[in-house]
Amino acid sequence: MVETTLAKKLVNNDFSEVMFKRQSVRKFDPAVTISRDELQAMIKEATSAPSACNLQSWHFVVADTAAGKAKAKSVMMPFNFPQTESCSAMVFVLGDTRSYESYRDVWNQACEDGRITPEKRDEIFKTFLPLYESASQEFLIKDATIDSSMAAMQLMLVARAHGYETNPIAGYAADKVATTFGLDPDRFVPVVALAIGKSVEAPIESTRYDAQNLTEFI
């Protein structure tokens, strides 16, 4: 659980406003900087997201300097240059397909803290670890992609709660992302990048399909 002290610092704690007024912003005030403390706090808050077996298969690369943004721009498709150049930070959310290698740490900690018994911990290890240790790369990529998407969506809403706007971006050279940031491309899969900053535009109001036509009750 994220400490409630973090929630107290939110500048917008109105759920409806945060969620339903979110819109993709593509032009930010380039003069606005967000401190690394605040970026780190937002990521911490976003990682309260659920994840498969609590594997937390996500990883964040934050480009918040001129050099970092130049690297981010080098993988972007040109239509995403305006956001990349004007945002305060571009956060790449990547899936970690080897998160199961540190899986024991989370549950050993829970056990040490007295939140679960050693028997419960061992039962969790016995149930889930073989599943992941023998999983195909395709399975691991899918799992890591879902986990990371959960965290990314939370990060967009958390950013709004901190008074910022975002643009989710997948228009980049996915095959270049990990290597450009010095990460192992066999381990880390790019899921989405989030441009974060203060808006200087009135974004396009997007429409949605009628949810009734997309829903089946069985």
> Residue numbers of the site for ligand FMN (CB under 6 A)?
23-24, 26, 80, 167-171, 192, 203, 206
Closer CB to ligand FMN, 80 or 86, in the complex: 80
Which residue, 98 or 198, is less far from ligand FMN as judged by CB?
198
Q: What are phi and psi of 33, to 5 degrees?
A: -115, 150
Q: How far is the CB of 166 from ligand FMN (least distance, A)?
A: 8
- Distance, CA of 187 to CA of 97 (rounded, Å): 5
Q: Which residue's CB comes closest to ligand FMN?
A: 171
Taking the CA atoms of 115, 120, 126 and 128 in sequence, report the sign of the dihedral they define. Answer: negative
Tell me which residue of 159, 173, 140, 141 sits closest to 62, measured CA to CA: 159
Minimum Å distance from CB 174 to ligand FMN? 11
User: What is the closest distance, in whole angstroms, from the C-beta atom of residue 192 to ligand FMN in the complex?
Assistant: 5
What is the widest separation between alpha-carbon atoms in the chain? Answer: 55
The minimum distance between CB 4 and ligand FMN, in angstroms, equals 29
Separation CA 87–CA 197 (nearest Å): 5
The residue among 53 and 90 lying less far from ligand FMN, judged by its C-beta, is 90
